[in-house]
Amino acid sequence: MKTIEETQAEIVEEFNSVDDWMDRYTMIIEEGNNLPQLPEKYRTPSNLIEGCQSRVWINAEQTPEGRIHFEADSDAMIVKGIIALLVKVLDNRTPDEVLNADLHFINDIGLGENLSPTRSNGLLAMIKQLRLYAMAYKAKAES
């Protein structure tokens, strides 16, 4: 399995091969289209992310090996692509890996500066929720 750094480097390399931001948005949407379908049973209010203008659901389950498996979906194409990128980087990691990850790919591909303020707030809310899941699983393991 690739490390978080290797996964981020691949994303940055892929996005840096395209200069035009409309093409990058297309790439983000394609990432969302490649996201596995979130089972209906996880589209619950408890999995809905607060702070996002569009609806975003994130489900997390800990594997027997202590890693976190993330599943997500959104009703907005670009947001779905953004959560797909976050899942690509953080899925199947340990709680410590999720908590300590420097998600520099967001700025490296120019995503942070090319999102509306509302979408930027949503991005921060998604990252916060992924890390909250990691904190909860870490605390559970330590108790």
Gap between the Cα atoms of 11 and 56, Å rounded? 22
Place of tokens 């809310």: 125
Given 11, 28, 49, 52, the catalytic residue = 52
Gap between the Cα atoms of 71 and 49, Å rounded? 13
Cα 14–61–64 angle (5° rounding)? 105
Count of all residues that appear for the chain in the document: 143
Is 67 a residue of the active site? Answer: no
Q: Annotated catalytic sites, by residue?
A: 52
